[in-house]
Structure 1
């Protein structure tokens, strides 16, 4: 019970901090009638302010939140950066789904390269915070809630202990097990935190690259119809190919290097029909 109470206290404190940060917005830019950064106009930012700040869950909400944050970033770049980093770490630390939309938001706000660097750093730091929270408060609960998945993953980690870092990279590059579960289970599996940190940073670069570049592309269009053009389609295809090529090469040698028998794409043992 003490572990649950401690975790709830951490969640409550982080939630209160994020609420205060998002509720007391600084004054907007003074030149409301003029175009502001990236061509956003006052009416676009006004629509976003009416809806308020929240985690985006679809492309429409992503557009609205990007408009609001670009509006404030014109004169409050430090505040927007602090707010974005805090929201990203909150999601990662507490294993809340939806990082892909925040990655796309990073591309829309900060551009493809700065956004990629930011996404990689925040993903790694947030995942490491999740690691420490699980280590401090949740190891026994992870085992209790997911006994089969933990047992299978423990078996695979021990079988691949001699090449553990590359095995962890493989798990990050391919959906053998969800990233949020791997973050929480790593302390149970006795994965060293330095190895965990490096495997997250390197292993999620292709995923972050695709999301951030997609967000940068989507920020340049005025409607969803603009996505379905040959130029945009080819650009998105090139992004995907560039990011997935290293993954494809690693996957080709994975089955000869790693012991993966019984580990399926959802991290569970395959089901066998009874005879």
Structure 2
């Protein structure tokens, strides 16, 4: 009969068990690291920035004239947006300056911390302020929010972006490396066209070493076409059934055409070099 394994003595069994426990602990640590790419210090920085922004937003809301806050909520559908527009119409006309301050601070807060729903805020600007004022508000707020997100990512965003979009980040970095001499044109193309999501561009730009002045100019100018389309659509909320209706084939074709114009100088220069 075979002797039983010695798991409690000084034999090899104990070493095997210890090795297995060590391997399991190491695997558990790797899993936790993969799940939570941000370090404790990153969380502290992010929470501090979030707390500062939240405090500022609350202070603005508390100084505004009283409103029926139960009717105010971030819209998630076109139906929600229509109700919000009806509830805010008289308030916006009665307290225009304070309402615009609250609108701008909310838009920038959402853009900074990647909260979905800014497209509804853009539609709301068109519905409440008209095309001209709504367009100016949306472009300035979207640019300010994107720049704020840029600096937040510069502080703590690298591990998060590398964890969420590793392949897309490598692709973006390679494309940026090829186009350093005409970087503004390329960034304009990306902002105008839906080639890459704006959220990804905001977060990854500081990681791939895009200069801030290039990022700012490309964002300010590149967001204008899509912002105009969205704000103008806000004038006819009753005819709009879904956000998807904003960007049909015709609209996307126009955006790609405008974007192609932005990279035309770079393509022309490359052609001359090869000739």
Structure-2 residue corresponding to 1:189: 208
Q: Which of 227, 233, 253 is 1:214 aligned to? A: 233
What whole-Å deviation, never above 9, does each CA across 1:218-270 have from its counterpart, x for those lacking one?
2xxxxx4x569xxxxxxx99xx76x9646415437859839xxxxxxxxxxxx
Equivalence for 1:4 = 43
Q: Which position in structure 2 is the counterpart of 1:251? A: 260
> Are the counterparts in 1 of residues 193 and 255 from structure 2 also a CA contact under 8 Å?
no
Counterpart secondary structure, 2:153: helix
| Aligned counterparts of 2:168 and 2:42: Cα–Cα separation in 1 | 22
Candidates 53, 76, 93, aligned match of 1:14: 53
- SS at 2:133's partner residue? helix
TM (normalized to structure 1)?
0.72
The 8 Å contact of residues 106 and 118 in structure 1, kept in 2 or not, is answered as: yes
Instruction: Confirm or deny: 8 A CA contact 2:143 2:216 kept in the other structure.
Output: yes
What is aligned with 2:180? Answer: 161
Residue 82 of structure 2 is matched in structure 1 by 63
Q: Distance in 1 between matches of 2:162 and 2:66?
A: 48
2:132 maps to 1:113: yes
- Per-residue CA deviation, residues 49-82 of structure 1 (Å, 9 max, x unaligned), is 4742221111121112222222212321121111
After TM superposition, the score normalised by the length of structure 2 is 0.72
Q: Which residue matches 1:273?
A: none
Paired residues of 2:161 and 2:204 also in contact (CA < 8 A)? yes
For 1:141, the equivalent position in structure 2 comes to 160
- What is residue 265 of structure 1 aligned with on the other side? none
Write the distance in 2 (CA, Å) between the matches of 1:52 and 1:23. Answer: 16
Q: CA shift at 1:21, angstroms? A: 4.1
CA distance in 2, matches of 1:126, 1:253: 23
Q: Quote the Cα distance in structure 1 between the aligned partners of 2:160 and 2:106.
A: 25
Secondary structure of the corresponding residue to residue 76 of structure 2? coil
Change (3 A) 1:89 1:253: closer
2:119 paired residue number: 100
Per-residue deviation, 1:127: 0.2
Q: Is the 8 A contact 2:192 2:255 kept in 1?
A: no
Aligned CA distance change for structure 1 residues 20 and 147 (closer, same or farther; 3 Å): same
Computing the radius of gyration over CA atoms, which structure comes out larger, 1 or 2? 2
Partner of 1:78: 97
Q: CA deviation at 1:107?
A: 0.6
| 1:165 aligned counterpart, secondary structure | helix
Query: For structure 2, which runs of at least 5 residues remain unmatched after alignment?
Result: 1-39, 269-275
What's 2:192 paired with? 173
CA contact (8 A) 1:206 1:244 kept: no
Aligned length, in residue pairs:
222
Higher helix content, 1 or 2: 2
